[in-house]
Amino acid sequence: MRNKWNRRTIVLAAAALIMTAGAASGRAMAYFTTYVTAEGGKELQLGFTATEPEEKIVNGAKEITIKNTGENDCYVRVKVFAGSKYTLTLGESDSHWKAGADGYYYWTEILPAGEGGITGILKINIGCEDAEADSFNVIVVQECTPVPYDEEGGQLSWDKVDWSREANVVKTGEGNP
């Protein structure tokens, strides 16, 4: 009796070998991808931008300076409001303040973080119809935003800042989830 290998036997043997190898490698792949663990970590803390305005009345003008007390560099803008009997005009201010079309005055340089970051003086002259007025109410609203960056990591200039952005900040503390 001759022991002959025919084509059908060879194909079935090869298919069985491939299926066995595939089934075994699938478990091996799962072992390396499913059961891999890693240890360690890095705590990430995001800093906040905080500014403090200082206002003084000097010779019928309101002098406004802004100090960046936060942890990030920022841009600043200021808007001044008063009653209808007052006329507000920009006085002789530092050259880095620019009047915007929206009624805000923009500090055109980056205000560095820390106690040392103080802007130049913004002077708003206060004209009053009542010459005998010894007190007046002028409201100063100041806003700041962290310096934004473009896709390449470069800082955007003051006139490219989107002031309509909102920060969704959730602070958790003791007793809060």
Sheet holding 138-146, edge to edge: 97-99, 105-111, 74-82, 138-146
**What is the residue range of 139's domain?**
51-160
Q: Is residue 133 in some structural domain? A: yes
Give percent above pLDDT 90 in the chain.
3
| CATH assignment of the domain containing 61 | 2.60.40
Give 116's Cβ-side CA count (13 Å radius): 1
Q: Is residue 99 in some structural domain? A: yes
Q: Which of 14-18, 30-34, 40-44, 154-158 has the lowest mean pLDDT?
A: 30-34
**Alpha carbon distance 28, 1 (integer Å):** 43
The larger pLDDT score, comparing residue 142 to residue 94, is at 142
Q: What is the pTM of this model?
A: 0.64
Q: Which pLDDT band, with edges at 50, 70 and 90, does 69 fall under?
A: confident
pLDDT at 36: 63
Q: Is residue 64 in some structural domain? A: yes
pLDDT reading at 1 higher than 50:
no
Reported as a single tens digit per residue, the pLDDT across 121-168 is: 888 887 766 545 556 778 888 988 888 888 898 999 988 988 887 766
Q: Is residue 136 in some structural domain? A: yes
Q: Is residue 110 in some structural domain? A: yes
The larger pLDDT score, comparing residue 23 to residue 56, is at 56
Q: Is residue 167 in some structural domain? A: no
Q: Is residue 130 in some structural domain? A: yes
Closest CA to 159 of 119, 123, 106: 106
pLDDT reading at 39 higher than 70:
yes
Q: Which pLDDT band, with edges at 50, 70 and 90, does 174 fall under?
A: low
pLDDT at 18: 82
pLDDT reading at 64 higher than 50:
yes
As for how many domains the chain has, the answer is 1
Q: Is residue 26 in some structural domain? A: no
